[in-house]
């Protein structure tokens, strides 16, 4: 799936844009927090695509349900991993981590949803999946 390749590109673009804006405004971009937030969003976004990969060739209804599950995985993984890093204070991240995570969450959510909608649209209408 193309979306699996587009996700890291979108994260790199969002991080680059954020870094440039911080530099233009003479603010500290908090590079470590940015990297951790990018890693959390990358893991969550790639994991969100797993249900769609598993339902290749299934009916449109099954693919639509997998897409919904994918968006939930994205949300819960971002919240769980990001919240876990904030609560444990294992890496001594500053509050800037939450801001980077918020921005990258929305950037990756857009890419994930566009990919999931494309998968739902391309699901085979006449598949031989039966409901029991």
- Virtual torsion, Cα 33, 14, 47, 114, nearest 10 deg: 160
Summarize pLDDT for 6-20 with one digit per residue, the tens: 999 999 999 999 999
Is 61 inside any structural domain?
Answer: yes
Is 18 inside any structural domain?
Answer: yes
User: In the 3-class helix/strand/coil scheme, how is 34-90 assigned residue by residue?
Assistant: HHHHHHHHHHHHHHHCHHHHHCCCCCHHHHHHHHHHHHHHHHHHHHHHHHHHHHHCC
Tokens of 56: 């290749």
Is 132 inside any structural domain?
Answer: no
Question: Residue 91 has what DSSP assignment?
Answer: S
Is 16 inside any structural domain?
Answer: yes
User: Closest Cα to residue 64, out of 110, 113, 130?
Assistant: 113
Is 126 inside any structural domain?
Answer: no
**35: containing domain:** 2-121
Give the Cα separation of 93 and 12 in Å (integer): 20
Is 110 inside any structural domain?
Answer: yes
Summarize pLDDT for 98-129 with one digit per residue, the tens: 999 999 999 999 999 999 999 999 988 875 55
- What is the pLDDT of the chain when averaged over all its residues? 92
Is 131 inside any structural domain?
Answer: no
Is 129 inside any structural domain?
Answer: no
Summarize pLDDT for 63-108 with one digit per residue, the tens: 999 999 999 999 999 999 999 999 998 888 999 999 999 999 999 9
Instruction: Specify the number of domains making up the chain.
Output: 1
pTM of this structure = 0.90
């Amino acid at each position: 799936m193309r979306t699996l390749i587009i996700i890291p590109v979108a994260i790199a673009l969002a991080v680059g844009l954020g870094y440039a804006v911080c530099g233009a405004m003479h603010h500290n971009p908090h590079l470590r927090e940015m990297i951790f937030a990018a890693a959390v969003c990358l893991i969550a976004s790639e994991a969100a695509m797993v249900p769609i990969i598993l339902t290749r060739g299934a009916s449109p209804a099954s693919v639509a349900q997998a897409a919904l599950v994918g968006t939930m995985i994205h949300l819960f993984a971002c919240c769980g991993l990001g919240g876990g890093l904030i609560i444990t204070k294992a890496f001594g991240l500053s509050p800037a981590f939450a801001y980077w995570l918020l921005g990258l969450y929305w950037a990756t959510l857009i890419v994930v949803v566009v990919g999931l909608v494309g998968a739902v649209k391309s699901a085979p209408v006449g598949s031989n999946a039966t409901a029991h």
